Structure 1
Amino acid sequence: MRIVVALGGNALARRGEPMTADRLRANVRASCGSLADLAREQELVITHGNGPQVGLLALQNLAYRDVAAYPLDILGAETQGMIGYVIQQELFNALNGERQVAAILTTTEVDEADPAFEHPTKLIGPQYSAQDAAEAAAEYRWTIARDGSAFRRVVPSPNPLRVMQAPLIRSLLENGQLVVCVGGGGVPVKTDSKGRQAGVQAVVDKDLASAALAADLEADLLIMLTDAAYVSENWGTPAQRDILTASPKAIAELPFEEGSMKPKIDAAVRFAEAGGRALIGPLDRLDDLLARRIGTEIRPDVPEGIIYL
């Protein structure tokens, strides 16, 4: 079976933890331990987020004022190398060297006319108090949005059109390799009329990019791992209902929070409409998710529309 697994932010940096290299490695090691059995038996592609890390690199850039700060596309490439290296190493170790793991830097084509550039929604970097957020916004000309009880920087997140290295990834899978790619959604690029690429100042959503890649690879399954047990309608209210299974059409009609669960739903809908099957559920219960004892499944053949828990 060909499977694309998208690791959510909790697989890399848990909320409230310091974003140190040691914590990154410890979290990735635990995640790779959960994925090892799947990786032994299946054609597996692992993608991952980078929101906290790319925001941290942006802040560290600003501390050195003698040269201009590196742009977001280069920072995105840095995080792909940093996080991809750790996932590659820890997955190889978890498998006791039984399979080779290739981490590759990928680019994702976007449309520079995408309206997302006028409406930033992607949360990156650390959390701030209201006062610190206001000061950072004024000093660095950032756009700030609420993240729970705190505030974070937001940047444009355009729709991914395609992962440019999809043919290479397919070739690696067909030759028995495990692949780590599409870190942070891939470095966003635009393509001109002559086919030349150039970086774009944005951060692509990794779930949407993973769905685009999964469709191009004709994957059997897209798994988006997070810290939620289920996708829930009316989450956090007395009317909350957990969703067990849904069709792409039915779940697309429900409202979800922008920058949080909505990109995962949009990604699941995109992949299911292409004929695939998507699962959304907790990383620490991957076996139960695959056995359908927990989590939400989105697939084309659900005549009821939505089946609630």
Structure 2
Amino acid sequence: MGERVLIALGGNAMTGPDGSASAEDQRTAVEEAMRHVRAILDAGHQVILTHGNGPQVGNLLLKNQLAAGVVPPVPLDWCGAQTQATIGTLILNALGGRTATVVTRTLVDAGDQGFQDPVKPIGRYFGEAEARTFEKLGQHWRRFDQGWRRVVASPEPLEILDADAVNTLMADGFTVVAAGGGGVPVVRRADGGLSGVEAVIDKDLAAAVLARAVHASVLIIATNVPNAVIGFGGPDPRPIGRISSGELRVLHAAGHFAGGSMGPKVEAALRFVADGGSRAAITSLAGITQAMAGNAGTRVER
């Protein structure tokens, strides 16, 4: 019997080699990514897919900004929902068979500290005049070396609200795409209802929450490098192969993994294993089949 595996695809799996995000580049990239996913399905495993959406949301934000004088900008949670459906459709077409996409909401805490001090940069760089214009619409902007860029909260994912739908589809034999871009961020109001919020959720941390909710035994995080590395960028980088969660936690606490790139992937792998997952792997897209077999990538075990 195969295993139930959640594969989290990085943004590089959804764009061209140079990061371009034209419709054709995205279609080609998704088709290539699904070729690797298909190999895992053909080996008899059940797959749940999630994915990044940074370039796609960036494109929508730019359209918002360019057209702000003509039509009101749509909120960030709408951008997340739109990109989930768009990328999901590309995956459906590329993978075929019994595949379904669930536009997925992720619950966050309205009191999360991230809302008090937004620091996650999104979209493109602009000049100060443009930034000030968008600040009048209630957005937060900060100055960086390359210019002004919008910043938003990146709250902790608490619950994948549509996990029951995912489980129902999987029980019926579907390969399911869910929680793209970390999910559409929502908070619970005092009256018990839900409201979308201006935030982005780390897709790898959300993947760990989703993996627990759908009872996956394996989590594979596909990125643009074959392994997590100790001493990355230094004179003596050391790729990490098989490692216990305890050993990796020590390295993570020592600051070996950058907060904006490998750090969340390592944290997601550690959380998944701590929550009862059999094993997690961090590797390149081309290495996911071998990582599933235990022969490639950074492999985290209890």
User: Does the pair score TM above 0.5?
Assistant: yes
Contact in 2 for aligned 1:214/1:222 (Cα 8 Å): yes
When the two structures are superposed, what TM-score results if normalisation uses the length of structure 2?
0.88
> Match of 1:45, SS?
strand
1:192 aligned partner: 189
1:24 aligned partner: 26
Residue among 217, 221, 224 paired with 2:221: 224
Identical positions, percent: 38
> Match of 1:172, SS?
helix
CA RMSD of aligned residues (A): 2.1
Amino acid at match of 2:294: R
State the distance in 2 between where 1:179 and 1:91 align: 11
1:272 and 1:62, CA in 2 relative to 1: closer, same or farther beyond 3 A?
A: same
1:49 aligned partner: 52
2:61 aligned partner: 58
State the distance in 1 between where 2:170 and 2:232 align: 38
Could you report, residue by residue, the CA deviation over 1:64-106 in whole angstroms, capped at 9, with x for unpaired residues?
Answer: 21332111001111111111111111111xxxxxx31001100
User: CA shift at 1:258, angstroms?
Assistant: 1.6
> Match of 1:235, SS?
coil
> Match of 1:238, SS?
coil
Amino acid at match of 1:37: A
> Match of 1:32, SS?
helix
Contact in 2 for aligned 1:280/1:297 (Cα 8 Å): yes
1:294 aligned partner: 296
More off after superposition, 21-30 vs 253-262: 253-262
> Match of 1:202, SS?
coil
More off after superposition, 248-257 vs 263-272: 248-257
1:74 aligned partner: 78
More off after superposition, 7-16 vs 196-205: 7-16
Within 5 Å, give how 1:129-208 maps onto structure 2.
132=126, 137-141=131-135, 142-143=141-142, 153-208=150-205
User: CA shift at 1:245, angstroms?
Assistant: 2.5
User: CA shift at 1:294, angstroms?
Assistant: 2.3
Q: Which runs of 5+ in 2 are unaligned?
A: 136-140
When the two structures are superposed, what TM-score results if normalisation uses the length of structure 1?
0.86
More off after superposition, 12-21 vs 74-83: 12-21
Amino acid at match of 1:254: A
State the distance in 2 between where 1:151 and 1:281 align: 33
What is the count of residue pairs matched by the alignment? 288
Amino acid at match of 2:47: L
Could you report, residue by residue, the CA deviation over 1:254-291 in whole angstroms, capped at 9, with x for unpaired residues?
Answer: 31212211111111111011021111001012222223
State the distance in 1 between where 2:243 and 2:274 align: 12
Amino acid at match of 1:3: V
1:283 aligned partner: 285
More off after superposition, 39-48 vs 244-253: 244-253
1:18 and 1:197, CA in 2 relative to 1: closer, same or farther beyond 3 A?
A: same
